[in-house]
């Protein structure tokens, strides 16, 4: 549903009893409400199920370059930005990745931890990587491949980005296009946070709707975890791959 940031703040203030029906949003109160909205969305970034979008990002790989940064380059930004940098809101989580060569063939990538990465004795061999280590940082994260890419190929990776990448809050006139259910959830939860600053008490009905609408979004965004196994360890009895945990393949 399309709305403006100011429209969301005004609606939340009505629910909290700060504004009367039909009363316009004063500029100073709108700015205060915008600040609270930003804080709320920033807090929701820590609740992965509140983020409705998985984004595919493309990272061009460079020959003889194994280290890349992803995020918003800190100021002062160089002009141009480094070729081994991808300018995008810093991902909250990386879910999967693969490298695509010039013929359209994909090569899966494994995300490894620092201990596994540290056990790789040679990290300067030229090859198509199959693993990379993510060093968390702010406002950027750093990808380091297990080997040095030997060709200019492209890594595709699927990430969960912050809500600020989906819901712009730079100003009250920003237009936002919200997924189903998010408008009500934002308005009612924002009303709960705004009320104390204006010495208001939110009715129980408002609090109940805020909680239930948030739960509905989390249930819809939830993806069940499916247990899987490498196909190499599965037998082919009767043409069906099986794996018995107690006995092995």
Q: pLDDT by residue (tens digit) across 202-231? A: 999 999 999 999 999 999 998 776 656 555
- Give the max Cα distance, the chain: 72
Residue 248 has a pLDDT of 57
Residue 230 has a pLDDT of 59
Terminal Cα distance for the chain, rounded: 51
100's enclosing H/E stretch is strand 93-100
Tell me: pLDDT of 244 over 90: no
Q: What is the chain's mean pLDDT, rounded?
A: 91
The token duo for 94 is 């990386």
Tell me: pLDDT of 240 over 90: no
Residue 228 has a pLDDT of 60
Q: Return the bridge partners of 59, or none.
A: 155
Residue 96 has a pLDDT of 96
Domain coordinates in residue numbering, the chain: 2-51+167-221, 55-160
What is the pTM assigned to this prediction?
A: 0.81
pLDDT digits (tens, 9 = 90+) for 7-62: 999 999 999 999 999 999 999 999 999 999 999 999 999 998 999 999 999 999 99
Nearest CA-CA partner of 148 in 128, 133, 120, 119: 128
The stretch 84-110 carries a mean pLDDT of 96
**β-strands 85-87, 67-71 pairing:** parallel
150 neighbors 128 (Cβ within 8 angstroms): yes
Candidate CATH numbers 1.10.3230.20, 1.20.120.1810, 3.40.50.300, 2.40.110.20; the one for domain 2-51+167-221: 1.10.3230.20
Residue 176 has a pLDDT of 94
- Give me the DSSP letters along 21-53: TT----HHHHHHHHHHHHHHHHHHTT-GGG---
Tell me: pLDDT of 246 over 70: no
Residue 243 has a pLDDT of 60
Residue 128 has a pLDDT of 96
Residue 237 has a pLDDT of 55
C-alpha to C-alpha distance for 98 and 127, rounded to whole angstroms:
15
What is the share, in percent, of the chain residues with pLDDT greater than 70? 90
């Amino acid at each position: 549903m399309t709305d403006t940031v100011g429209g969301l703040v005004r609606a939340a203030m009505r629910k909290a009893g700060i504004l009367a029906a039909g009363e316009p949003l004063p500029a100073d109160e709108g700015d205060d409400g915008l600040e609270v909205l930003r804080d709320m969305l920033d807090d929701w970034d820590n609740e992965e199920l509140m983020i409705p979008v998985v984004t595919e990002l493309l990272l061009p790989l460079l020959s003889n370059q194994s280290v890349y940064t992803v995020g918003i380059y800190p100021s002062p930004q160089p002009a141009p930005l480094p070729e081994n940098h991808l300018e995008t809101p810093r991902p909250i989580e990386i879910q999967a990745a693969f490298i695509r060569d010039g013929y359209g063939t994909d090569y899966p990538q494994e995300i490894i931890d620092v201990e596994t990465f540290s056990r790789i004795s040679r990290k300067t061999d030229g090859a198509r990587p199959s693993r990379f280590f993510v060093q968390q940082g702010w406002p950027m994260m750093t990808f380091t491949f297990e080997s040095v890419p030997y060709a200019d190929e492209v890594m595709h990776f699927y990430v969960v980005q912050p809500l600020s990448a989906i819901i712009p809050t730079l100003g009250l006139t920003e237009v936002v296009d919200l997924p189903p259910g998010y408008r009500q959830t934002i308005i009612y939860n924002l009303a709960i946070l705004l009320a104390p600053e204006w010495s208001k008490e939110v009715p129980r009905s408002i609090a109940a709707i805020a909680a239930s609408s948030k739960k509905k979004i989390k249930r819809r965004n939830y993806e069940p975890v499916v247990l899987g196994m490498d196909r190499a360890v599965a037998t082919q009895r009767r043409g069906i791959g099986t794996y018995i945990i107690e006995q092995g393949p």
